[in-house]
């Protein structure tokens, strides 16, 4: 495999953060401990632990966590011998208060996430994380909604604030391999920091897109064991490790141990198989934020609608992460419109 970087690939496992969406944020402490123990034993570099919508996300709008995330972070840290615990923070949802608290509990890395056109709101959080001595990365979401040039502009802002890497984040699973190549290649050419890539599998392209990103120079790569993540899940970590090994790329992660933990530890946690069903497929097709699926399904049941119609309309309105409150409004609008059509 030809890579446009000589830096090692570092894997961040996101099943305990992105996967929180799939379990409606109901992870137990023992589930987190067992998964972290197994991932640490397999040699995974970073393990992200927080509410699906990042630090401070346990709210009525985004979904209440069963267990306070700080307790889960503390438990995860206590189970690590070599892996580092990471957290996600979305300015406007989480504050520097939660960031300081997570750091005090032992979190070593933070990804500060914003919509792809709103990097300017990340400055305070990136600066604070650097002051705390944390590894600090920028995470630009919904990158399919912006041109590569706009993405570069925003990535430069995050780099200027102190981000040590900037992620191209395919939040909707809507990017195609050529889209990924174009974006990662441009950032690799123009930035001094590392480039990361986070995929969703709504169009069954997560592994292919991740390989394209790695070939173009991305070195910070996300995966989720058994695809445990929002929508159809993320790049399946154990599959990616196997493919990279076939391509001659040594990640330092034990493949057999990843296979075993996927089957024996994460498998029993899955509420359902992470397959590409109609809801997740339409999110990739319409370009909708992957965490919207469960909210759209609940709204569809409430108003007697097809969740796909809600998701397509959200895509048309260009809804972004953090606008979950729009889902009920959109469903109500569709239901009202259809009632009027029947009357007419």
- Which domains occur in the chain, in start order? 10-269 (3.20.20.70), 278-343 (1.10.8.60)
Q: Do the annotations mark residue 289 as ligand-binding? A: yes
The reported pLDDT for the residue numbered 294 is 83
pTM of the model: 0.91
The reported pLDDT for the residue numbered 234 is 96
Please give the Cα distance from 100 to 86 (Å, whole number).
13
Is residue 17 part of an annotated ligand binding site?
Answer: yes
- From the candidates 21, 25, 45, 103, give the one annotated as an active-site residue: 21
What is the structure's pLDDT at 86?
A: 98
What pLDDT is recorded for position 290? 77
Cα distances (angstroms) measured from residue 204 to each of 135, 176, 275, 333: 31, 10, 9, 31
Torsional sign, CA 105, 41, 260, 196: positive
The verdict on whether 45 is a catalytic residue reads no
290 is in an annotated binding site: no
pLDDT of residue 191: 98
- Ranges assigned E (strand) in 116-214: 135-141, 165-169, 194-198
Does the annotation place 167 within a ligand binding site? no
Q: Is 171 annotated as a binding residue?
A: yes
Q: What pLDDT, on a 0 to 100 scale, did the predictor assign at position 341? A: 82
Q: Per DSSP, what are the bridge partners of residue 194?
A: 165
Residue 310, judged by CB atoms within 10 A of its CB (0-12, 13-18, 19+), counts as: buried
**pLDDT computed for residue 273 by the predictor:** 84
Q: Based on the number of CB atoms within 10 Å of its own CB, is 111 exposed (0-12), middle (13-18) or buried (19 or more)? A: buried
The predicted pLDDT at position 187 comes to 98
pLDDT for the residue 129: 98
Q: Which residues of the chain have pLDDT under 50?
A: none
Identify the helix (H) or strand (E) that includes residue 239: helix 237-246
């Amino acid at each position: 495999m030809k890579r446009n970087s000589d830096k090692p690939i570092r894997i961040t496992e996101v099943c305990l953060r992105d996967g929180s969406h799939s379990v409606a944020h109901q992870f137990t402490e023992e589930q987190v401990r067992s998964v972290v123990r197994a991932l640490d034993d397999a040699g995974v570099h970073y393990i992200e632990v927080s509410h699906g919508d990042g630090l401070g996300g346990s709210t009525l709008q985004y979904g209440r966590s069963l267990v306070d995330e700080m307790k889960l972070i503390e438990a995860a840290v206590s189970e690590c011998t070599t892996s580092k615990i990471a957290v996600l923070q979305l300015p406007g949802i989480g504050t520097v208060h939660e960031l300081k608290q997570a750091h005090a509990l032992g979190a070593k890395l933070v990804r500060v996430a914003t919509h792809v056109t709103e990097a300017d709101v990340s400055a305070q959080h990136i600066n604070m994380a650097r002051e705390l001595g944390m590894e600090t990365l920028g995470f630009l979401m919904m990158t399919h909604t912006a041109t590569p040039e706009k993405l570069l502009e925003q990535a430069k802002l995050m780099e200027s604030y102190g981000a040590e890497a900037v992620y191209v984040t395919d939040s909707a699973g809507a990017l195609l391999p050529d889209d990924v190549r174009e974006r990662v290649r441009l950032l690799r050419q123009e930035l001094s920091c590392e480039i990361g890539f986070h995929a969703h599998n709504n169009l069954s392209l997560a592994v292919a897109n991740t390989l394209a990103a790695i070939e173009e120079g991305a070195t910070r790569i996300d995966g989720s064991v058994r695809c445990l993540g929002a929508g159809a899940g993320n790049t399946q970590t154990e599959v990616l490790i196997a493919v990279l090994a076939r391509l001659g790329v040594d990640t330092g992660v034990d493949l057999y141990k990843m296979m075993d933990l996927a089957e024996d530890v994460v498998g029993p946690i899955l509420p359902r198989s992470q397959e590409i069903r109609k809801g997740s497929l339409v999110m990739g097709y319409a370009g909708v934020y992957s965490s919207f699926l469960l909210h759209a399904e609940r709204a569809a049941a409430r108003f007697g609608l097809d969740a796909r119609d809600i998701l397509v309309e959200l895509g048309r309105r260009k809804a972004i992460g953090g606008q979950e409150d729009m889902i009920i409004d959109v469903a109500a609008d569709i239901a009202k419109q259809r009632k009027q059509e029947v009357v007419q």
